[in-house]
Amino acid sequence: MKKLTLLCAFVNMLLFGQMIHAQKEYGIFNSLAVGLNVGSTGIGVDVATPITEYVMLRGGISFMPGITINTDVKVEVDDPTGQMGSFPARVDLEGSMKRTQGELIASVYPFPSFPFFISAGAYFGGDKLVTIEGHSEELKNYIAQGEKLGVVIGDYVLPVDKNGNVSGGLKVKAVRPYVGIGFGRIVPKKRLGFSGELGVQVHGTPEVYTNYGNLDDLISELDADDDFTKIIDKLTVYPVLKLRLTGRIF
């Protein structure tokens, strides 16, 4: 029994020694870096640490400023009674891409001595890709006559309230897978480092949401060549380009 106890203790000492050796050799959690980045996700900050000499893990948050898109949308309104025919109307829409999102990403260095890496992970939060606000006096007047009106975005219709206002936007998944490639050290060997990264968030086709009423039960048609419809049809992934300045704390 004593021999078995001594053997177990000896094995544990060997394993513990191997763990210490691996930490010193491969840098497992023995370093921490803070990065500032700028790119297509806005302005961000993150922290990173090595898992092995091949894998670095980072988490962070980014803020997209209120960049706006303006477009003049033509709306064709049909009278359900057929007495007044169709009404051509226009509404000025403004879309904003302001949002905040988090990220958790692992970067793999196939050749540790060469600073090329492949990244995979996910972005989360910031599911409102574009917010849309608009107003039309013409639509306000039609609504006063008892019309049900809305603005068509893709396959959906944004309702117009009694004051002629439109409010809603484009919504994507709350958790979005990410893949990318880059060059540079996520955790620099020296005190400061620089890296660049190019990738995509996969969020599928954006969905339309509204802050007024219901997306269905409306009577309205829109020419399908407006800016927001083009966004819905083509933007199934969100491109990510980042430039990152990193400082190693320890």
Contact of 175 with 226, CB cutoff 8 Å:
no
Measured between alpha carbons, how far is 18 from 175 in angstroms, rounded to an integer? 38
CA distances from 11 to 1, 4, 6, 7, 79 (A): 15, 11, 9, 6, 85
26 CB burial (10 A radius; 0-12, 13-18, 19+): middle
Chain mean position to CA 217: 31
What's the Cα-to-Cα distance from 188 to each of 138, 184, 249, rounded to whole Å?
59, 8, 10
Mean pLDDT of the chain: 78
- Which pLDDT score is estimated for 71? 77
Residues of the chain with pLDDT below 50 are 3-26, 78-81, 83-85, 217-225
* Residue 244 structure tokens: 């990152």
Q: What type of residue sits at position 247?
A: G
C-alpha separations of 164 from 28, 87, 222 in Å: 59, 15, 16
How many Å apart are CA 10 and CA 69, to the nearest integer?
Answer: 68
Which residues does 4 contact at the CB level (< 8 Å), separation at least 6?
A: none
Q: For the stretch 115-146, what's the b/e string if a residue is b when 16 or more beta carbons lie within 10 angstroms of its beta carbon?
A: bebebebebeebbbbbbbbbbbebbbebbeee
Amino acid 25: pLDDT = 46
pLDDT given at position 240: 96
